[in-house]
Amino acid sequence: MKIKPYLAVYLLLLTFQIQTALTCDVSVISVINGDGPIERFAREALEISLILKNSAAVIKNKNAELAMQEVRKAMKKWVNFNSAHSKKPASASINKELWSSEFNVMTEKLGKISENIEKGEFESAHFLLEKIVAQMNYIVCIAYNDPFKQSVAHAELVLLSLRPSEVLLEAKLQSPDSPKINLQKVQRFSSEFSVLLEEVKSASASPSAVIFQVLSNRHSDLMNEFRKNLLNERVLLRANVEFERVRELYSIMKNTFITK
């Protein structure tokens, strides 16, 4: 499966661990030399993503004032980006409903991250920031109007909703005195990830059966941990380890496809 060079660089750049600082590779700039409508769209999206990623370290340090400054920069650019592109898909063949829906989701998430920072909920903001960057990644893949690229990006976005620490944090914020994990919601995300993973496997030109099987097994291990008591620190630790294993394997698989 061939992926355009610019999209390959974009996707690779957006594969990051949010805990680490971003090192901006100047080679990305040299690749951005096209001037077609999709390339211009992707270049604008990348600029917003870089601002969001740069704000990760600020949020991690729990500096509300600086964090809000960074997020406002991104929101200002997003408002212009949204106004210019949300009503007009990058190409005529793109599903308008899907296109508009993803822009609305992005706007909601950006608003939510500001709320998190104002409330001092920095961990929630941190998790959400990563989802926002993945969301932008997905929007760019939709712009290229390739089902394979969309499935790859969408699966990664859904996977981020299976992070045990975030699921537990959400439960604690909703009910501090008696947090309860919403297993039905977790199962929905799990099922969606499985379906998307199968789509990626079916659409890939030369799927590696081994990595898909290992990934599927790790996914099952993660779900087994969810069925235990995440309020127990040891269970939560094991669950987070399983999540990172699934995520790492998916990242390896994704980058293998991208660089072919």
Q: What percent of the chain has pLDDT over 70?
A: 83
Span 244-253, mean pLDDT?
A: 88
**Number of domains the chain contains:** 2
* Same-domain pairing of 31 and 12: yes
Last residue of a domain, one of 94, 114, 145: 145
Q: Which of 145, 170, 190 represents a domain boundary (last residue)?
A: 145
If you average pLDDT over residues 232-238, what whole number do you get? 91
Which residue type sits at 1?
M
pLDDT at position 160, please? Answer: 94
Whether 130 and 184 map to the same domain: the answer is no
Across the range 66-71, mean pLDDT stands at: 87
pLDDT of 18 over the 80 cut: no
> 206: pLDDT confidence band, cut at 50, 70 and 90?
low
Position 34 confidence tier, pLDDT thresholds 50, 70, 90: low
Pick the last residue of a domain from 124, 145, 166: 145
Residue 29 in contact with residue 47, Cβ under 8 Å?
no
Which residue range forms the structural domain that includes residue 67? Answer: 1-145
Question: What does the angle CA 60 – CA 224 – CA 133 come to, to the nearest 5 degrees?
Answer: 30
Residues 114 and 156 in one domain: no
Greatest Cα pair distance in the chain:
55
Residues 158 and 114 in one domain: no
Residues 98 and 187 occupy one common structural domain = no
CA atoms within a 13 Å half-sphere pointing along the CA-CB vector of 161: 18
Task: Give the per-residue SS3 of 85-110.
Answer: HCCCCCCCCCCHHHHHHHHHHHHHHH
Q: Does 236 lie in the same domain as 117?
A: no
User: Cα(110)–Cα(125) distance, rounded to whole angstroms?
Assistant: 10
Same domain? For 138 and 33 the reply is yes
Beta carbons within 8 Å of 177's beta carbon, 6+ residues apart: none
